[in-house]
Amino acid sequence: MPAATVDYSQRICEVWACNVDEEMMKIRQVIQKYNYIFPGVVARPTGEFRSNADYQYQLLRCNVDLLKIIQLGLTFMNEQGEYPPGTSTWQFNFKFNLTEDMYAQDSIELLTTRGIRFKKHDEEGIETQYFVELLMTSGVVLCEGVKWLSFHSSYNFGYLIKILTNSNLPEEELDFFEILPLFLPAIYDVKYLMKKMFFEGHIDDDKYCGNAYEEEANKQS
């Protein structure tokens, strides 16, 4: 008997300005756990850095401050890793103008080949601040019962904090980590949990970006 197949295209909902209110109402009913996507790196920071970890945060801050968010994906699961029936991933498409907004050329070319329609983003994309208004009252953020799962997702959280605060990221990494738990109280980065459990002493830290999240995991353990 052949194995059952899942049509993942039927589980992903594309959200634009025209349906964002309706889909956010649905999210309020299924909220469990989430993940995000973000645009590519556009620049590297300059200046003197105290450590590799500090460099990685400054690289993150530089890119997040320069780039507008294009898409944000939220995937919902329960404690057993089961998806809700029907839609399990909502992909929010934000207003983005290739003429006015800064971007990394190679990232835009890659996204275009993968089906991103930038003309539609310009004409039908969600206004970021309106999305934040809906998000703040959805139960997705500011809720200790929500568990955020990620795999090495420093940029995802950076972009989320940027739009939630409507400001650039703090200059200092420690200040960023004071703000982060106010909006996202429970974060679990699977990559660093795996590293701590199985690879301590065997993997060079310099092979990893986002050392800041490893440090935050240490605080929470």
Q: In CATH, what number is assigned to the domain containing residue 99? A: 3.30.420.10
**For residue 3, is it within any domain?**
no
**For residue 53, is it within any domain?**
yes
**For residue 207, is it within any domain?**
no
Q: Is the pLDDT score of 215 beyond 50?
A: no
Per residue in 92-123, pLDDT tens?
Answer: 999 999 988 887 777 788 788 888 899 999 99
**For residue 195, is it within any domain?**
no
Q: Which domain holds residue 103?
A: 11-188
Give the chain's domain count: 1
Q: Is the pLDDT score of 44 beyond 50?
A: no
pLDDT band at 218 (very low <50, low <70, confident <90, very high): very low
pLDDT band at 202 (very low <50, low <70, confident <90, very high): very low
**For residue 47, is it within any domain?**
yes
**Would you state the pLDDT for residue 19?**
98
Q: Is the pLDDT score of 194 beyond 80?
A: no
Give the mean pLDDT of 168-187: 92
Give the mean pLDDT of 34-43: 34
Span of 7-11, 58-62, 108-112, 115-119 with lowest mean pLDDT: 7-11
**Would you state the pLDDT for residue 51?**
65
Q: Is the pLDDT score of 200 beyond 50?
A: yes
Number of Cβ within 10 Å of residue 211's Cβ equals 20
**For residue 171, is it within any domain?**
yes
Predicted model pTM: 0.76
**For residue 211, is it within any domain?**
no
**For residue 93, is it within any domain?**
yes
